Structures are given as structure tokens and as C-alpha cells.
Amino acid sequence: MKFLKKASLAASIAAVSFAANAELVAMDEASMSATTGQAGVDIDITLGYDAANPTQDAISIGKIVYTDTDGAGDGTGAGGLQIDGIGLRSANGQDIVIYNAIDINANGDIIMDSTATNAQLLLSIGSVDTLKSDGTVGANLVGASTIDMTITGSKTVITQVLADVDGDGTAAESQTIISNAAAYGGTAGTITVNSADLELLNGAVGLKGLTTTALSAQHTLKFDANGVGVSDLDLSGTINIANVELGGTSIGSLAIENLALNNATIQISGH
């Protein structure tokens, strides 16, 4: 869902930039009062479904490549990671409409309230592989995989807090917070996997017919001098896998019931 929001926002910014170069027309106070969106910004995005070409992705990305510029820090060169063939489209034969209301309150907090209509999406991935320093493909992590999922809207808040980031017990440093946790006034959305077929590790492992109950997507991102911290991670629900395959042969099914991840914390930084 976060990926979709970022892509939607980028498309909207491009559209606004184009409109800014159009002819400017003076408006009187009465006209301005009748204009919607003056006390905030509404960005409504429609990801269209093409009945004549139902496999056409609404959003597609050829490749995402990450390069570890110093390798292992031993001077032997840099490898990387490549995600190839990303696609996102409607999974239910209808247009997907995402409504985004963006406001800034008196504290300078940005509040993004999103709701979605017919938001059943099909995410496809061609492969995820490591890259060698010469640019050739290394180890395969994920093969051709698809995830059919339904998402619900959420409210995300971007704010500033003061905390003792460096741990010296004296001054409080600034943190930028991006959160949909209730503690920051947000509301977490949910992700339900209706069906997923995943191929892993050169096809050695297959997870077919994976489904979940509605999984909370609550999180808080903290950006400061230490890097990126992830907290307030809450995950609960049930995961079912109809077929677990080894070497293309099913060895049975798997169910993970009453999964619970409460307030987990992750810190991400460079080295």
C-alpha cells in the first residue's frame, strides 16, 4: 500500500506542475469561496482497468537496482540487488479509485487521509536477484510471483518530535516522524492476501495458494541522525498456504494461526 501511495503522489505532483504552467485567471473572493480544496488538497487517483487488455499494468517498473558501493568494505568491489519486472493492476475487473485528503495543522503536521474504492490489486514480480560487481546476475531470491490483495485506507501523519537521539542525556534532537499509529493521530490500514503464488530460491521452494486474514499495516518511521528507525510494528492474523512445494512437488499445506507481532522495533543505518 505504501508503494501505491508514493506512486500516486508522484503522478499527482507531475500533473500539478503541468497545470501551473497553464494560463492564470484572476478570481474574485466569491469564486474563491466556491472553489473546493482551498483549505487543503484533495488528490483523487484512478487506476483504470482496460477490459480490452486485462493484463495491462496500471503501474509498471522495469527494474529497481540497489548497488552496495563499497561491497563488504574490503576493496573487492561492489555488488547489488535487482528487482525485475514489477507490475500493479486491478485484480477484480474494475477501476481502482484512491482518495487522498492532505492537510497541514497548526503544529505543522502533514495529515494524509486515504480511502480506497474497489482496491483489489494484483502485484507481480519477475524476479529478485543479487548482482555481481560486473553487473551479471548472482543468486536468485525470488522468481516469478504474484500477489492478489485487497487494501483499505489509512491516515498517515508526518510530524516532528524532540528526543535524546544521541543518548547524551542532555539536549533533545529533532526527529521527523511518519506514522499511521494511533499514538500520532493516525489510523492503520489493512492488507488481505486473497491469493499469492511465490517462487523462491531458483524454484526450489514454492508457496502456492497463500492467503491471509486482514493484516494490520501499522508502523512508525523515525528519521534522525542515527538513520531510520521502525517502531510500532503491529501484525496479527492468520496465514494459510495451500501447497508448500519443494522442487516442484507439493509436500503438504501449512497454516500459521493467531500470528502476533506487537510493538517490534527495527533500526536501519549505514556502515
Predicted pLDDT at 269: 77
pLDDT of 89 above 70? yes
- Residues 117, 184, single domain; the answer is no
16 or 246: which carries more pLDDT confidence? Answer: 246
Predicted pLDDT at 74: 61
- Cα gap 146→40, rounded to integer Å: 37
DSSP code for 182: G
Identify the band that residue 77 occupies on the pLDDT scale cut at 50, 70 and 90: low
Any residues with CB less than 8 A from the CB of 269 and at least 6 apart, and which? Answer: 226, 227, 228
**Mean pLDDT calculated for residue range 218-233:** 88
- Residues 183, 265, single domain; the answer is yes
In a domain, 216, yes or no: yes
In a domain, 70, yes or no: yes
In a domain, 224, yes or no: yes
Any residues with CB less than 8 A from the CB of 197 and at least 6 apart, and which? Answer: 145, 146, 206, 207, 208, 209, 210
In a domain, 179, yes or no: yes
Q: Could you identify the residue written with the cell 534532537?
A: 173
Predicted pLDDT at 72: 62
In a domain, 148, yes or no: no
- Which ranges constitute the DSSP H helices of the chain? 2-20, 29-34
pLDDT of 32 above 60? no
Predicted pLDDT at 157: 97
Beta-ladder partners of 211: 240
Out of 81, 116, 143, a domain closes at 143
- Residues 124, 168, single domain; the answer is no
- Residues 20, 127, single domain; the answer is yes
Tally of domains in the chain: 2
Q: What share of the chain is helix, strand, coil (3-state, %, to 5)?
A: 10, 55, 35
In a domain, 240, yes or no: yes
- Residues 104, 211, single domain; the answer is no
Contact 262, 238 (CB under 8 A): no
Identify the band that residue 103 occupies on the pLDDT scale cut at 50, 70 and 90: very high
Q: What digits encode the pLDDT tens for the residues 150-168?
A: 999 999 999 998 887 777 7
Identify the band that residue 76 occupies on the pLDDT scale cut at 50, 70 and 90: low
Out of 93, 115, 143, a domain closes at 143
SS3 183: helix
Q: What angle (nearest 5°) sits at the alpha carbon of residue 190, between those of residues 238 and 61?
A: 105
Out of 143, 177, 202, a domain closes at 143
DSSP code for 205: E
From residue 128, how far is each of 58, 135, 161, 183 by CA, in Å? 21, 14, 37, 35
pLDDT of 25 above 60? no
- Residues 120, 244, single domain; the answer is no
- Residues 117, 222, single domain; the answer is no
- Residues 100, 191, single domain; the answer is no
In a domain, 149, yes or no: no
pLDDT of 244 above 60? yes
- Cα gap 54→43, rounded to integer Å: 25
Rank 74-78, 114-118, 232-236 by mean pLDDT and report only the highest: 114-118
Q: Which of 48-57, 113-122, 253-262 has the lowest mean pLDDT?
A: 253-262
- Residues 133, 10, single domain; the answer is yes
Q: Which domain holds residue 224?
A: 154-271
From residue 193, how far is each of 50, 79, 120, 137, 237 by CA, in Å? 23, 33, 10, 30, 11
- Residues 139, 11, single domain; the answer is yes
pLDDT of 15 above 60? no
Nearest alpha carbon to residue 234 among 250, 207, 214? 214
HEC per residue, 74-92: CCCCCCEEEEEEEEEEECC
- Residues 185, 263, single domain; the answer is yes
- Residues 125, 201, single domain; the answer is no
Q: Check: pTM over 0.85? Answer yes or no.
A: no
Predicted pLDDT at 75: 59
In a domain, 138, yes or no: yes
Identify the band that residue 27 occupies on the pLDDT scale cut at 50, 70 and 90: very low
Would you tell me how many other CB atoms lie within 10 Å of the CB of residue 246? 11
- Extract the C-alpha cell encoding 40: 487543503
Contact 259, 236 (CB under 8 A): yes
Contact 135, 81 (CB under 8 A): no
**Mean pLDDT calculated for residue range 186-214:** 94
